[in-house]
Each structure stands twice: as C-alpha cells, then as structure tokens.
Amino acid sequence: MAFIGANIKVRGVVQGVGFRYWCMRQARELAVNGYASNMSDGSVEIKVEGDRGLVEEFIKIVRTGPTYSDVTDVKVEWYEQPRGFDDFNIRHGD
C-alpha cells in the first residue's frame, strides 16, 4: 500500500449544504481517514489519509460535491507523514 496524505481546501457553495457529512460518507466508503471542517472564510478544509489510489479517488469525488453544493476551487497539498487518523470525522473550524 502506498500511503499518502492530503490537505484539501474546497471553495464555493460548500457550507450549509451538507458537504462535510457527504465527505464523511464518501471517505468511509473508500476507507480513508481524516476530517472535514468548515472554515470562517466559507471554505471547507479536509485532511485525508490512506492508500494513494483511494485518496486520489476521494479528491476526484470532492471536486464534484453533493447535489446542492457548487465547488469552484480545490487546492491539494500532499504529505507523506501520517497524522494517525483512525476514522473520518466532522470537526468545527476556526
């Protein structure tokens, strides 16, 4: 397994539309770990870790978003040192 982690910043209509909970469902289906958090600037921050192929698939899914969202920008920063997440959860942002 090629482990990878990603810090993801998602912009657009991504708050108030169930985006974080949708991310949690997608992540759990793919068996990747981390969290999603609303940020004060209206974006959603996601940290996700797991098998590289699964993390890449998760990012592809996030670029689409759930039905009532409108994702306009996704920035990804990769990292290789695990943060030790054991599930995917919702966090409260800054």
Active site residue 11: no
Tokens of 52: 């590289």
C-alpha pair distances (Å), 51 with each of 10, 19, 24, 28, 30: 21, 23, 17, 13, 10
Q: Which of the residues 38, 63, 83, 89 is marked catalytic?
A: 38
Q: How many residues does the chain have?
A: 94
52 is an active site residue = no
Termini Cα distance of the chain: 33
Residue 6 CA: distances (Å) to CA of 48, 76, 80: 5, 6, 9
Considering the candidates 7, 11, 20, 83, report the single residue annotated as catalytic: 20
Residues with active-site annotation: 20, 38
